[in-house]
Structure 1
Amino acid sequence: MTILDADVLIADARESAGLNDFGDDTLADRVRLVVDRINGAGLDDIGVRAAADTVRALLTSRLHFFADRTSLPLAEERITAPLFATGEPRSGTTLLHALLAEDHDSRALRFWEVMYPSPPPGPAAADDPRRAQADADWREILDRIPPWIVSHPYNDLLGAGLPECERTWAFDFRAMNPSAWWRVSMTIQNFPQDPPAQYALHRMMLQHIQYARPPKRWVLKGFHGRRLQALFDTYPDAHVVWVHRDPVQVLASQIVAFGQINESLAGTLDWTQYAKNTIEGSRANFHAYLTDLLVDDPRIHHVRYRDFVADPVATIGGFYDFAGVAFTAAAENAMRDYLATNRGDRYGKFSYTADVLPVPVEDLHDEFSAYRERFGVDIETRR
């Protein structure tokens, strides 16, 4: 099997792009860590070539991204009072984000923009080839991961879909996002985090995409609960809506949804071990929220999943009022039209049960009782 060399891949990207500056002197260390994981994944030659192509593409994209910041006044773009949707994965945050993005006074990230950010997409024409390329990429992604359209029907927007904030860090080599690594036959992995550096890069991406466009209010979605300090340091005028759901249902849904993605990518999955790994990472989050003083920050609007599901638009209206944003009739109508024409089960019903949990359900209910009490979350029963 061919062994990848991170330094060779870095040099290849620089030669291909004709550029040298990655914008971060520590990037090479992260690339080496990622490449070490790839080399230990037992990929065949096809998989190794796909991994090499992916690494080069991410590195080349980053080089062009930072070259743009040298040649254009991107750093002068002001990002004012963004709105963030957050919560644990499988808590309804994607629907929340999709509805926020229906407000014509707001702007959301689009996959084609973060997959191919250079040159800045603001001046791009409607027939910019990057749109078609991202659409083609997404068709390939969904062919590779068939269950994903069921668990996440919003992917039907293809390149115009709404990425999570974490996707802006793909070329930072801190996470192996499926929408960047789908060609590589290995399970998704996360790597050491540096929230201040990550949010600085996130802000750069917003500036990049906003450039040459009329300023709008950004509406964003990501898993920010363990990175609140860095988020508010970067965006002190931000407001956050945080959805809280029964942890037992969250964990069971995560295991199935993310397990399906990883099984499709890698071709196989040890479901027992995957369930154990998933629950350990996620349960730590629920416990951490009880001790983090920033969870009570006055810029955060906490809502219950059951209330959001009962009336998503009214929930958003409450968040707008909290954030001091006008909830126009046009925005409300657009959101209600979206709900009427985009059923969550339009590609089939995503199914899961608590049977996948590696810990007895009653034990988990006891474990998370303090979390449920803190955020007013009931035990959720499924039919």
Structure 2
Amino acid sequence: MLNAGAITTEAETRVGISDPEADLLSPNLDHLVAAINATADLTFGSEASVGSSLVARTADRLEGLKWLGKHPEIADEVIADPVFLCGLPRSGTTFFQYLFDRDERFRLIRTWEVSEPSPPPGADPGSVRRRKAAEAERRKTHRIAGFDAMHLSDADGPEECHAFLEQSYSSAGFHNLMNVPEYFDYLMSTDLTPAYRVHKRQLQLLQWRTPRPRWALKHPNHVIATDAILEVYPDARFVITHRDPVQILASISKMTLKLRESRSNSPVDPHLVGRQMLDFIQRHVDRIMTFSDSPDGTRATHVDYYRLVDDPITVMAEVHSALDLDSPPAVREAVADWYSRNPKGSRGSNPYALEDFGLDGDMVAEQFGRYMCRFGIPREQVGLGTDRSNV
């Protein structure tokens, strides 16, 4: 069984400092570890791997604090007007992220920076060793059958914020990796502001001594924490993608099943996964609706998934305009070039069926009817748009 205290102690020993944020963040770790021990049913090897990962993410945070102690000016780095790319999981946010990465006016987190964020790039120009290590880890992860088709990822490509939230044990994605519903319940009821303070510090470390383009920060689950994000980043803007929740639910259920099967000590019940993911998506939708109807909802630009994948150049221009930017020819050409080189199915197909998870599409559509009406989301049919469910 995992032990929260042992995880913290091992990370402290590795980095050589005591954790000054332990009291603030230990409740998150305690709830996560308790849920893993109670319901995750991990294999011996997977339990050891999860424990090692939690030690590594804790050590990443402590390494950042160590750099901050040596160079207190890091805390003065300004993260100006960040753009949070989010939406329901499996709604095209990764595809959108790769399009933003064609624009040199934006700074995105790199995969290798997530894998090993210290030393800061400003103190380690080139970071050759870490880039190679990230590619080796990526290849290992993608040995899971069909994972390349489910999620677009490159060692030097843009990456989402999940690992930076894992530093504070505050990532909703843990519930996709493992059966930890009690942890997800806890996460949805706790204040995530401390987690985003850790997140901001990590961006300051990455930005220190380097150019300062505007950050574009992708993570679907940012939608559950818009209040915390605005507390930490008062000038933040949001770009939120919308897709048929019936298809989203089928896709996230398949991904969750695959991820859990690779770690579970016993067969994973797809119907349990379906029920849990229905709740998972419903609670994300609830947060989107609440935020969109609030005074801060004007900070969000809403994007139709189907228009995005069919005509990314036009949609990107519209998003640029909403962010008070122009859409210069060089950016349009870069977007068009990437789109042409990454056609549908280029990394494999990702078939899925909602019925495999014990759910009925019409009933799901009825449950999410208010959300679909609010944002004009159509039911997804064969031939409607281009399926970019792997992104």
Question: Do these two structures clear the TM 0.5 threshold for a shared fold by scoring above it?
Answer: yes
What is the SS of the residue equivalent to 1:224?
A: helix
Aligned counterpart in structure 2 of residue 235 of structure 1, from 202, 209, 233: 233
1:208 aligns with 2:205: yes
Deviation at 1:137, TM superposition (A): 1.3
1:174 aligns with 2:170: yes
Separation in structure 1 between the aligned mates of residue 260 and residue 46 of structure 2, nearest angstrom: 15
Q: Which residue of 2 aligns with 1:325?
A: 325
Q: Which residue of 1 aligns with 2:386?
A: none
Q: Which residue of 2 aligns with 1:141?
A: 141
Q: Which residue of 2 aligns with 1:18?
A: 16
Q: Deviations over 1:160-219 (max 9, x none)?
A: 2322223211121223757xx98xxx5577543332112212211111111110110111
Could you tell me which runs of 5 or more consecutive residues in structure 1 were left unpaired when the two chains were aligned: none
Amino acid at match of 1:61: D
Q: Retained in 2: the 8 A contact 1:147–1:261?
A: no
TM-score, with structure 2 as normaliser: 0.87
Q: CA RMSD in A?
A: 2.4
Distance 1:295 1:244, change over 3 A: farther
What is the SS of the residue equivalent to 2:224?
A: coil
1:220 aligns with 2:223: no
What is the SS of the residue equivalent to 2:303?
A: strand
Separation in structure 1 between the aligned mates of residue 284 and residue 41 of structure 2, nearest angstrom: 31
Distance 1:166 1:57, change over 3 A: closer
1:257-296 map, 5 Å: 257-266=255-264, 268-292=267-291, 293-294=293-294
Distance 1:329 1:279, change over 3 A: same
Amino acid at match of 1:280: D
Distance 1:355 1:382, change over 3 A: farther
Q: Retained in 2: the 8 A contact 1:58–1:171?
A: yes
Q: Which structure has more RCO (C-alpha within 8 Å, separation ≥ 6)?
A: 2
Separation in structure 1 between the aligned mates of residue 280 and residue 66 of structure 2, nearest angstrom: 37
Separation in structure 2 between the aligned mates of residue 319 and residue 79 of structure 1, nearest angstrom: 20
Separation in structure 2 between the aligned mates of residue 316 and residue 22 of structure 1, nearest angstrom: 42
Q: How many residues align?
A: 372
What is the SS of the residue equivalent to 2:210?
A: coil
Distance 1:335 1:110, change over 3 A: same
The range that moved more, 316-325 or 358-367, is 358-367
Separation in structure 1 between the aligned mates of residue 356 and residue 335 of structure 2, nearest angstrom: 34
Distance 1:289 1:43, change over 3 A: closer
Aligned counterpart in structure 2 of residue 27 of structure 1, from 25, 28, 32: 25
Deviation at 1:112, TM superposition (A): 1.3
Separation in structure 1 between the aligned mates of residue 102 and residue 192 of structure 2, nearest angstrom: 29
Deviation at 1:357, TM superposition (A): 4.9
Q: Retained in 2: the 8 A contact 1:289–1:295?
A: no
What is the SS of the residue equivalent to 2:23?
A: coil
What is the SS of the residue equivalent to 2:238?
A: strand
TM-score, with structure 1 as normaliser: 0.89
Distance 1:105 1:287, change over 3 A: closer
Q: Retained in 1: the 8 A contact 2:223–2:287?
A: no
Q: Retained in 2: the 8 A contact 1:187–1:263?
A: no
Deviation at 1:62, TM superposition (A): 2.0
Distance 1:328 1:270, change over 3 A: same
Amino acid at match of 1:217: R
Deviation at 1:97, TM superposition (A): 0.9
Distance 1:287 1:17, change over 3 A: closer
Q: Which residue of 2 aligns with 1:343?
A: 343
